[in-house]
């Protein structure tokens, strides 16, 4: 079914959704300039020029999405088929048949794919003559897969066979590789984050890997082996250059200026210019302003989902030395809101829209780096990932 066939008009009231009429969102002027892909627990939605399209892959979990020009990749979890990778070569007008693009563990590993957690364009090596179609997939169980042609994937053996692997522990029952970072100015460098496995970096195009978590604390009462094992939830580039990174963890927000060789804590809860709490899932780097990042921590002395929990985005300046709360527009006061790691993002081109989706189904965006926010859509299923479309 094409985008046009599934088009749903969103006008702040009732929206026709299949054969059912229900309130599914609102139209704002902001949406005229922002196009967003939203992966949820009940399929993929597209928001473009005030129009909500979808759901595609209805009933499927959609934990990851990637755009490479006119090609879309969508990670799904189907009740019958399990985890699959869907591909469209015409910007979502049609989709490949299940099984056309596969990610499979080699038989000798004894593992099977549970979930595709993250999809990322590969900037670490020159684009082949056929075009820039190389990409990485981070998966559960924690592993990295690579495709150089956009269709066939191979396990990155250097990371899979790393001697630290036995020391990685499952986070909330899931040992997953959830972040992949590459940069055009560092050919051959690949940086990944693993839940309760920490940060790892390769400088030789994935052949060998080193743990890069020195300085990141583990939770109280948890053991750690060497410098691997801290609970890293998300990584993001700092606009200072390819060696600058931010990390959101269960023990605070950290920054490195040497590509992870050492980390310094910059998001410490408490105080006038700090974040609300140490814990959080997403972190997003400002695309052009060095030392600036955005995070979504819960308020102090509360927990996600508690009645007093107030959802707010925090912005860092000065490399994380100063943090300030921004007011994000949500429908609910005292909303029970969680934003997971891949559900907060920034566009790659001007005006660099910020957008995040919540587990209560709101999609919120800003065109001025958080000074003002607009609710794009509400009453979606719980949001798993958000990507701004080119």
Going by pLDDT thresholds of 50, 70 and 90, the confidence category of residue 9 is very low
Tell whether the torsion through CA atoms of 118, 266, 291 and 277 is positive or negative.
Answer: positive
Q: Which one has a higher pLDDT value, 164 or 278?
A: 164
Q: Do residues 191 and 127 touch, judged by C-beta distance below 8 A?
A: no
Going by pLDDT thresholds of 50, 70 and 90, the confidence category of residue 128 is low
DSSP letter for 312, please. Answer: -
Instruction: Give CA–CA dist 180/133, Å, rounded.
Output: 16
Confidence at residue 335, expressed as pLDDT on a 0 to 100 scale = 54
Strand partners, 254: 247, 265
Confidence at residue 349, expressed as pLDDT on a 0 to 100 scale = 87
| pLDDT higher than 50, residue 307 | no
What pTM was estimated for this model as a whole? 0.86
- DSSP states of 59-97 as a string? TSEEEEEEEETTEEEEEEEETTTEEEEEEESSTTSS-PP
Confidence at residue 235, expressed as pLDDT on a 0 to 100 scale = 96
Pairing of strands 14-17, 154-155: unpaired
Tell whether the torsion through CA atoms of 58, 24, 73 and 295 is positive or negative.
Answer: negative
| pLDDT higher than 60, residue 29 | no
Which domains, and CATH codes, for the chain? Answer: 231-326 (2.40.10)
Q: Which one has a higher pLDDT value, 255 or 23?
A: 255
Q: Percentage of the chain surpassing pLDDT 70?
A: 78
Instruction: Give CA–CA dist 384/310, Å, rounded.
Output: 20
| pLDDT higher than 90, residue 131 | no
pLDDT digits 0-9 by tens, 204-244: 999 999 999 999 988 665 555 445 578 889 999 999 999 99
Instruction: Give CA–CA dist 37/47, Å, rounded.
Output: 7
b or e along 185-204 (b: 16 or more beta carbons within 10 Å of the residue's beta carbon)? ebeebbbbbbbbbbbbbbbe
pLDDT digits 0-9 by tens, 133-161: 799 999 999 999 999 988 899 999 999 99
Mean pLDDT (the chain) is 82
| pLDDT higher than 50, residue 294 | yes
Strand partners, 102: 152
Q: Could you tell me which of 119, 162, 85, 154 has the C-alpha nearest to residue 387?
A: 119
Strand partners, 252: 249
pLDDT digits 0-9 by tens, 363-390: 999 999 988 888 888 899 999 999 999 8
Strand partners, 354: 346, 366
Sheet containing 82-88: which strands, arranged edge to edge? 61-68, 71-78, 82-88
Instruction: Give CA–CA dist 88/97, Å, rounded.
Output: 10
* CB-CB neighbours of 243 under 10 Å: 17
Confidence at residue 297, expressed as pLDDT on a 0 to 100 scale = 78
Q: Which one has a higher pLDDT value, 7 or 144?
A: 144
Confidence at residue 202, expressed as pLDDT on a 0 to 100 scale = 97
Strand partners, 17: 20
DSSP letter for 205, please. Answer: T
Q: What is the mean pLDDT of residues 327-343?
A: 68
pLDDT digits 0-9 by tens, 241-262: 999 999 998 888 999 999 999 9
Q: What is the mean pLDDT of residues 278-294?
A: 89
HEC sequence for 157-192: HHHHCCCCHHHCCCECCECCEEEEECCCCCCCCEEE
Confidence at residue 227, expressed as pLDDT on a 0 to 100 scale = 52
Query: Which one of 112-116, 226-230, 330-334, 368-372 scores highest in mean pLDDT?
Result: 112-116
Q: What is the mean pLDDT of residues 123-129?
A: 69
Which parts of 113-170 fold into alpha helices (H)?
157-160
Instruction: Give CA–CA dist 342/39, Å, rounded.
Output: 10
């Amino acid at each position: 079914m094409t985008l046009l066939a599934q088009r749903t008009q969103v006008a702040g009231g009732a929206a026709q959704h299949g054969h059912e009429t229900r309130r599914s969102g609102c139209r704002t002027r902001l949406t005229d300039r922002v196009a967003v892909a939203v992966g949820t627990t009940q399929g993929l939605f597209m928001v473009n020029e005030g129009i909500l399209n979808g759901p595609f892959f209805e009933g499927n979990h959609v934990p990851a999405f990637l755009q490479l020009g006119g090609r879309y990749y969508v990670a799904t979890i189907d009740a019958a088929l399990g985890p699959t990778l869907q591909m469209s070569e015409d910007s979502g007008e049609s989709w490949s048949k299940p099984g056309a693009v596969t990610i499979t563990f080699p038989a000798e590993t004894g593992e099977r794919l549970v979930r595709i957690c993250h999809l990322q364009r590969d900037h670490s090596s020159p684009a082949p003559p056929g075009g820039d179609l190389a990409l990485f997939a981070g998966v559960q169980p924690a592993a990295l897969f690579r495709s150089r042609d956009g269709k066939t994937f191979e396990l990155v053996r250097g990371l899979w066979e790393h001697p630290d692997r036995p020391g990685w522990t499952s986070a909330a029952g899931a040992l997953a590789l959830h972040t992949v970072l590459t940069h055009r100015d560092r050919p051959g460098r690949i940086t990944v984050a693993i839940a309760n496995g920490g940060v790892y970096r390769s400088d030789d195009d994935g052949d060998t890997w080193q743990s890069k978590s020195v300085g990141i604390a583990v939770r109280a009462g948890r053991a750690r082996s060497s410098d691997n094992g801290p609970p890293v939830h998300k990584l993001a580039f700092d606009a200072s250059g390819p060696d600058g990174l931010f990390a959101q963890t269960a023990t605070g927000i950290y920054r490195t200026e040497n590509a992870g060789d050492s980390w310094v804590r910059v998001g410490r809860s408490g105080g006038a210019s700090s974040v609300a709490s140490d814990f959080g899932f997403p972190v997003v780097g400002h695309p052009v302003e060095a030392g600036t990042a955005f995070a979504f921590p819960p308020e102090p002395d509360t927990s996600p989902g508690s009645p007093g929990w107030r959802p707010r985005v925090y912005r860092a300046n000065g490399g994380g030395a100063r943090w300030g709360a921004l007011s994000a527009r949500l429908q609910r006061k005292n909303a029970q809101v969680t934003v997971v790691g891949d559900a907060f993002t920034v566009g790659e081109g001007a005006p660099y829209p910020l957008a995040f989706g919540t587990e209560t189904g709101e999609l919120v965006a800003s065109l001025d780096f958080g000074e003002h926010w607009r609710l794009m859509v509400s009453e979606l299923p719980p949001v798993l990932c958000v990507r701004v479309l080119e």
